[in-house]
Amino acid sequence: MKVSFDFDGTLSRKDVQKFAKSLVNTGYDVWIVTSRFDDESAMKKNWHWIKGQNQNLFSVAEECGIKLNNIHFTCMESKSHFLKDKGFAPTEEPFKKLINQGMILGTSAFV
């Protein structure tokens, strides 16, 4: 079975790392799918400050037993296409309709 974690705010936490490591140890195919830029893509944009920013991510992956080939950088693109292509999700878009224009306090023609 495949399992995917985001890094920042998720796999960067020690409790989630412990869980991910237990999944790897029981035979799950564990991936990191992150919105971060990989070093090569960042250098093409002349974003030299990013170089080395992913070292912590690689260290956590190694500590958890996650293969380097199982790390995917989306470079701030939507993760849903990658997750569909790799068999993590049945559809590309997880929402039929998304409304995020403030708080809905009553009935709406859109919901």
pLDDT in tens, 53-104: 899 999 999 999 999 999 999 998 888 888 888 888 777 766 667 666 666 5
pTM above 0.75, yes or no: yes
Cα separation of 106 and 90, whole Å? 32
SS3 state at 71: strand
Q: Give residue 95's pLDDT.
A: 64
Helices (H) and strands (E) in the chain — how many of each? Answer: 4, 3
What percent of the chain shows pLDDT beyond 70? 83
Indicate the average pLDDT of the chain. Answer: 86
